[in-house]
């Protein structure tokens, strides 16, 4: 009855104790956090599925490489190792290290985006779009419509709708499109991949207009796995080869090494154009650090370099994606509405379907995330209207079609029994959904990235808890 679960290609050498708080402790912690799982203290969390960002367990090899990190301010040996590794696996000639992904986005956006710029992308990502907007640009979603339908089984829901992109180029003109921003996989759609065929077609269209493509490579290894599984002609290719083919079709990338690269911190910007690289090196000194460390310690660069090598190992990426699928399959078997097909790093609950009786103005996903925490001290993340923020022009809430609660699985951290514990809790909450009497309303709403620090209270001030 349980779906398959391949044995992990690692064993545990060091443990970190975790503790399940009591129901009373959970209720107090949630109140203190203003019903926002982002504001919970990690010590009040039992299973932490808030994010897979920087929460990876590093390998013994990564830890031992950290001991030989070169902390030279300029020209660190560890930088050259990292640069080499990125060139080898991602293929871009010019590498600019940053403290994490958004550092790369800041530098890229400051160089390429100006007031009046339009940036098309396969669905927005929070920090990416914020940097584009802070520099005066406007983001345009050019993902296929299927991506906005949680039930659609399209195998590549990260694909670009070429007609939407073509129309945008005609409407605003290629000269006001500094680049197309493509994510592989698409985080906000629940880790959905883009196909190589679609990437090649997008490339053809943009090249005809002289528009570069910048890849968000945070989970490009996971994307490569899905291409191997689902796209005809790639079943015998190595993950490293598919990753290189993805990057070959793009002009540069922003990378959060806290995702695919099994690191706890780190990132980079990499480009093919030497002039762009030069401008990026000039800016990285201002915002991150010298261009041979960019905000990372030498030891961090060692961990990232080794992590890149491990990330493309077949058994590692297989165990990673199949653990996510196992959780999703258990929920699907129990009738819990989840985003289909299952993504690479997360299972996303369709909160609008589970909490049909909670209006969108009362943030069903924020409400469901709070209920799951109360049930089992499992921390999840809202990915719906709260994350989408307000329209910068009209000031109104943006209500994306997807109102999701994301259960994001850290790499190499939890075992099957942890995943079963989470599945049982989510199934419990779903089955008792009628006891959730109302949604939530803001008591404090920050003006940027409001999902991180916003505070809420029950819309009717008396949410029922089952605990
Ligand atoms: C995490 C993430 C980023 C930002 O990276 P940070 O390292 O968190 O700054 C950008 N894009 C995607 C798709 C991400 O998942």
**Cβ-count burial of 302 within 10 angstroms (0-12 exposed, 13-18 middle, 19+ buried)?**
buried
* Bridge partner residues of 92 (DSSP): none
- Arithmetic mean of pLDDT, 436-441: 94
The mean predicted confidence, pLDDT, of the chain is: 95
User: What count of Cα atoms within 13 Å lies in the side-chain half-sphere of residue 165?
Assistant: 30
User: What count of Cα atoms within 13 Å lies in the side-chain half-sphere of residue 202?
Assistant: 32
| C-alpha dihedral, 192 to 196 to 200 to 205, nearest 10° | -10
User: How many angstroms is it from 258 CA to the middle of ligand 1?
Assistant: 8
User: How many angstroms is it from 170 CA to the middle of ligand 1?
Assistant: 30
Q: Under 8 Å CB-to-CB from 98, ≥6 apart: which residues?
A: 104, 107, 267, 268, 269, 284, 288, 294, 295, 296
Report DSSP letters for 415-445, one per residue. -HHHHHHHHHHHHHHHHTGGG----EEEEE-
User: How many angstroms is it from 101 CA to the middle of ligand 1?
Assistant: 5
Q: Atom 10, ligand 1: which residue's CA is nearest?
A: 101
* Bridge partner residues of 270 (DSSP): 95, 253
pTM above 0.95, yes or no: no
**Higher-confidence position of 17 and 448:** 17
pLDDT higher than 70, residue 466? no
User: How many angstroms is it from 466 CA to the middle of ligand 1?
Assistant: 35
8 A C-beta contact, residue 220 and residue 260: yes
- Arithmetic mean of pLDDT, 303-332: 97
Q: Atom 12, ligand 1: which residue's CA is nearest?
A: 218
Per-residue pLDDT at 391: 85
**Higher-confidence position of 3 and 393:** 393
- Predicted confidence band at 448 (pLDDT cuts at 50, 70, 90)? confident
8 A C-beta contact, residue 14 and residue 57: no
Report DSSP letters for 287-307, one per residue. HTS-TTTTT--HHHHHHHHHH
8 A C-beta contact, residue 122 and residue 145: no
User: How many angstroms is it from 172 CA to the middle of ligand 1?
Assistant: 28
- Kindly list the protein residues whose Cβ atom lies closer than 6 A to any atom of ligand 1: 53, 100-102, 125, 127-128, 183, 187, 216, 218, 256, 258-259, 267
Beta-sheet pairing, 213-216 with 180-183: parallel
Shortest-distance atom of ligand 1 to CA 53 = 1
pLDDT in tens, 15-31: 999 999 999 999 999 99
Report DSSP letters for 318-379, one per residue. HHHHHHHHHHHHHHHHTT--B-SS--SSEEEEEHHHHTTTS-GGG-HHHHHHHHHHHHH-EE
C-alpha 13: how far from chain center = 28
Shortest-distance atom of ligand 1 to CA 103 = 9
User: How many angstroms is it from 127 CA to the middle of ligand 1?
Assistant: 7
pLDDT in tens, 179-192: 999 999 999 888 99
Tokens at 395, concatenated? 């000031």
- Predicted confidence band at 261 (pLDDT cuts at 50, 70, 90)? very high
Candidate from 107, 125, 182, 304 with most ligand 1 atoms within 8 A of CB, to mutate: 125
Per-residue pLDDT at 463: 45
Per-residue pLDDT at 189: 85
The residues carrying an active-site annotation are: 73, 125-126, 216, 259, 383, 451
User: How many angstroms is it from 316 CA to the middle of ligand 1?
Assistant: 21
pLDDT in tens, 330-359: 999 999 999 999 999 999 999 999 999 999
Q: Atom 8, ligand 1: which residue's CA is nearest?
A: 101
pLDDT > 90: percent of the chain: 90
Candidate from 55, 129, 187 with most ligand 1 atoms within 8 A of CB, to mutate: 187
Q: Atom 3, ligand 1: which residue's CA is nearest?
A: 101
- Predicted confidence band at 85 (pLDDT cuts at 50, 70, 90)? very high
Q: Atom 14, ligand 1: which residue's CA is nearest?
A: 218
pLDDT higher than 80, residue 465? no
- Predicted confidence band at 464 (pLDDT cuts at 50, 70, 90)? very low
Candidate from 51, 102, 452 with most ligand 1 atoms within 8 A of CB, to mutate: 102
Candidate from 99, 131, 185, 259 with most ligand 1 atoms within 8 A of CB, to mutate: 259
35: left (phi over 0), alpha (psi -120 to 50) or beta: left
Burial 195-225 (b: 16+ CB within 10 A, else e): bbebbebbbeebeeeebbbbbbbbbbbbbbb
CA dist., res. 266 & res. 294, Å (int): 9
């Amino acid at each position: 009855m349980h779906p398959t679960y391949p044995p992990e290609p690692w064993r545990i050498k060091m443990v970190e104790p975790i503790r399940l708080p009591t129901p009373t402790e959970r209720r107090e912690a949630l109140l203190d956090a203003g019903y926002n799982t982002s504001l919970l203290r990690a010590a009040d969390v039992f299973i932490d599925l808030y994010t897979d960002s920087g929460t990876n367990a590093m390998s013994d090899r990564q830890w031992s490489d950290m001991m030989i990190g070169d902390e030279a301010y300029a020209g660190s040996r560890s930088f050259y190792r990292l640069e080499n590794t990125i060139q080898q696996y991602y293929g871009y000639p010019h590498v600019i290290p940053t403290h994490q992904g958004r550092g790369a986005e800041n530098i890229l956006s400051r160089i390429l985006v100006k007031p009046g710029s339009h940036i098309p992308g396969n669905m927005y990502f929070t920090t990416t779009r914020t940097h584009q907007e802070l520099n005066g640009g406007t983001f345009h979603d050019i993902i296929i419509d299927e991506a906005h339908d949680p039930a659609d089984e399209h195998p590549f829901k990260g694909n670009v709708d070429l007609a939407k992109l073509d129309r945008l180029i005609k409407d605003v003109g290629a000269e006001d499109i500094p680049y197309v921003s493509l994510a592989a996989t698409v985080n906000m759609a629940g880790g959905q991949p883009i196909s190589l065929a679609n990437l090649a077609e997008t490339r053809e269209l943009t090249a005809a207009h002289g528009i570069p493509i910048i890849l968000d490579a945070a989970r490009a290894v996971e994307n490569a796995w899905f291409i191997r599984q689902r796209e005809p002609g790639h079943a015998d290719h190595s993950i490293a080869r598919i990753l290189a083919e993805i990057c070959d079709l793009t002009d540069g990338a922003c990378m959060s090494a806290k995702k695919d690269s099994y690191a706890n911190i780190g990132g980079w910007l990499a480009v093919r154009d030497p002039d762009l690289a030069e401008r990026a090196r000039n800016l990285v000194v201002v915002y991150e650090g010298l261009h041979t460390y960019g905000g990372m310690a030498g030891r961090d660069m060692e961990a990232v370099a080794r992590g890149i090598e491990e990330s493309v190992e077949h058994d590692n990426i297989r165990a990673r994606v199949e653990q996510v699928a196992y959780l999703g399959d258990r929920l699907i078997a129990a009738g819990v509405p989840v985003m289909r097909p299952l993504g690479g790093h997360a299972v996303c609950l369709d909160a609008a379907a589970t909490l049909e009786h909670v209006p969108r103005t009362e943030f069903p996903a924020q409400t469901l995330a709070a209920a799951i925490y109360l049930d089992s001290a499992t921390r999840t993340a809202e990915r719906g209207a709260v994350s989408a923020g307000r329209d910068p022009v009209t000031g109104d809430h943006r209500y994306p079609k997807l109102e999701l609660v994301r259960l994001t699985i850290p790499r190499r951290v939890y075992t099957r029994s942890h995943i079963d514990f989470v599945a049982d809790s989510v199934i419990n909450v779903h089955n008792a959904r009628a006891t959730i009497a109302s949604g939530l309303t803001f008591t404090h709403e920050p003006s940027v990235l409001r999902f991180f620090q916003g505070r809420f209270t029950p819309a009717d001030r008396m949410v029922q808890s089952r605990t």
